[in-house]
Structure 1
Amino acid sequence: MRYFIQFSFFGKAYHGWQVQPNALTVQQVLQETMSTLLRADIKLVGAGRTDTGVHAKQLFAHFDVSNRLCIKETVQKLNSFLPADIAVQQIFEVGPEAHARFDAISRTYEYHITQKKNPFLSDFAHFLWTPLDVDAMNQAASILLEYTDFECFSRSQTDVKTFLCHVTHAQWKHEPERLVFTITANRFLRNMVRAIVGTLLPIGLGKFPVEQMRKVIESKDRGMAGASAPAKGLYLTEVNYPENIRS
């Protein structure tokens, strides 16, 4: 039987989602906890990967088990055994072919910036005290919706087969104590959002004109884009699936 699990995590202690040798990851901790609790070798397939230090307000994974679960009890027990920085919101049954990664139709990220020093936000947002031209950054962000090839924002060493992504929303907004960039697309390349933010910030600081975004995208050169923004400001906030994903 196949199930989806929805969970969230604060990423400071982890080297991202995906299991890797000699590094603590969210997938490792969640798989080990679930395997112990369910007395089975649980293998999770996530909706996507997050980099070291990145947070997730909502992420999904699928897994297979032989017997039907008592879902409410399983969720409660998992949250009792998991560390405080990982929480499970729900588990639900899906069809045997449902796939957490390939069936996702969109993903949304937020990048948080604080412009006043606040020790209570230091692990949750990137501190940048210099004034930013948010209108200019929004004009530059809107250019993203005109393109689909984002090779310029991909890591140099990558094994992806395509750099094509369909961005449907990209906007900065002022929120209490934070400036938040929200971006939605059908898929993202590794490091893509942090590279986009790292390209938008110099435009907001007046170092480059708005049209610099177009030049960067058309160059297909990672060296033309800005340096990656710090991981601690980035959140995966939503993964959407077709309404009929549930069994």
Structure 2
Amino acid sequence: MTTTVTARMSALARAELTLLGRSRATIVTAVLVPLLLPLSVRPALDGMDLADAGLTVGTVILPAAVGFSLLFAVYASLTSAYVVRREELVLKRLRTGELHDREILVATALPATAIGLTQCVVFAVGGAVLLDLGAPRAAHLAVLGVLLGLVLCAALAAVTAAFTRTAESAQVTSLPLLFVSMLGSGVTIPLEVLPDRVASVCELLPLTPAITLVRGAWTGDLSGYEALGAVTTALAWIVLAVFAVRRWFRWEPRR
């Protein structure tokens, strides 16, 4: 009996969600860390001249919270999931059934991306209430930024997993992107307060477009040209990541 693509992917996504819930380390990484890290940004803001940059505490902390969710709930947790499933031969067994390769990768990513999306919605509501941000001036930019960030982080997780030997080493191989994104993509330090030359380089980092679009949704200062540039950069990274996955992703344990 042949099943539909939706049925196959839904079944795999449910199984992945069950496995995710059984891993305490994954729950901490995907759920608790993104919720707690934004609190660490607040003390650092006291030394920044946010007013001159056209920013407020809210327009810094909210995009930071979204960034932490994308990095930890999606990228870091999904990198570990891909590696663990591969080393346990789960991916290899799945390929012998009806599921196509892209269906396996996407379905495996669905629970993590759903968690990330839920957190972003919670942060947006919380920011409107607790940080007195109100509704975004350009809601479509926030939606676009989050969706691009989710797709990119999921793709980058598969790329990182391709070069990761064990589940333990996944905590190490994911660190470079985590650190670079937190420091240079506007997560903890807004690009608006950086020197122009440094900011121009940081604009090309993978997660920068998502943070730029989310922040611009609330500040209303992002021009159409700047938004288009951010979207173009994000799409370019997504294309590169998908190419890397197709070229180097491994379906059997690395020995």
Where is the helix percentage greater, Structure 1 or Structure 2? 2
Do they superpose with TM above 0.5?
Answer: no
Where is the strand percentage greater, Structure 1 or Structure 2? 1
| TM-score, length of structure 2 as denominator length | 0.24
| TM-score, length of structure 1 as denominator length | 0.25
